A and B are shown apart, each in its own frame.
Chain A
């Protein structure tokens, strides 16, 4: 069954903690993306990767970090430097950078 999985579905973080959100795809897609969505808002790009071992900052990269060591995996770390991390985090992938993107189910992060 091909698709994109994200875990966990819900995540609670105490202030000052780093947390890592998982994103895995078995679609053999080259490109992967992380977005943040706040209530009633559109999608904002955090980081994206067009190929293994390479990634670029998006529009709101401050306070976040990523790695792309394997084609199928693109984990996102929300660091303590991110001032307001409570949001819905969406991972997406596409065959290459110019094709349609497909989204995972998302992770809802809440800072306590």
Chain B
């Protein structure tokens, strides 16, 4: 079983729609979860951190964490063409001091 599972996509949504990105993880003791956005040819940029069960909202972005089911999701409301990128989820690996990254989901927002 992979440590982190993400659908590689591409996920295609029309402009203005809600994009839903999902990630499942295997480490039951992880306490920290992150979403990064990576534009083609650029480095990853942190967009959301979440540490407790439930929803966390920041502008058009909402991260959802369910530790019992071991999944974390990212919702992007009112999707814009500028949101077209690869989205990486990551979680803190127990007490190793490392982050474990998923392979990323490519999002395409079509005008």
A residues contacting B by CB (< 8 A) are 31, 41-43, 45, 48, 50, 56, 58, 90, 97-106
Chain B, residues 72-111, CB within 8 Å of chain A (1/0): the string is 0000000000000000101010001111011110000000
The CA-CA distance from A45 to B4 in the complex, in Å, is 15
Taking CB atoms, residues of chain A closer than 8 Å to B57 are none
Assess the B46–A102 pair: CB atoms within 8 A.
yes
B residues contacting A by CB (< 8 A) are 31-32, 34, 42-46, 49, 88, 90, 92, 96-99, 101-104
B-side binding surface: helix, strand, loop or mixed?
A: loop
Assess the B46–A101 pair: CB atoms within 8 A.
yes
Assess the A98–B98 pair: CB atoms within 8 A.
no
Assess the A43–B101 pair: CB atoms within 8 A.
yes
Count of A-B residue pairs with CB < 8 Å: 43
Assess the A41–B103 pair: CB atoms within 8 A.
yes
Assess the B101–A98 pair: CB atoms within 8 A.
no
Assess the A43–B88 pair: CB atoms within 8 A.
yes
Assess the A106–B88 pair: CB atoms within 8 A.
no
Known: A41-B103, A42-B103, A42-B104. A50 touches B43 (CB 8 A): no
Assess the A45–B103 pair: CB atoms within 8 A.
no
Assess the A31–B101 pair: CB atoms within 8 A.
no
User: Which of A41, A98, A105 lies in contact with B97, CB distance below 8 A?
Assistant: A98
A2 → chain B closest CB, angstroms: 14
Known: A42-B88, A42-B103, A98-B92. A103 touches B44 (CB 8 A): yes
The CA-CA distance from A102 to B99 in the complex, in Å, is 12
The CA-CA distance from A30 to B102 in the complex, in Å, is 24
**Closest chain B residue, CB of each to CB of A102:** B46
The CA-CA distance from A43 to B36 in the complex, in Å, is 12
Known: A41-B103, A42-B101, A98-B32. A90 touches B43 (CB 8 A): yes
B14 → chain A closest CB, angstroms: 25
Taking CB atoms, residues of chain A closer than 8 Å to B98 are 45, 48, 58, 97
Assess the A100–B42 pair: CB atoms within 8 A.
no
Taking CB atoms, residues of chain A closer than 8 Å to B46 are 100-102
Taking CB atoms, residues of chain A closer than 8 Å to B43 are 90, 103-106
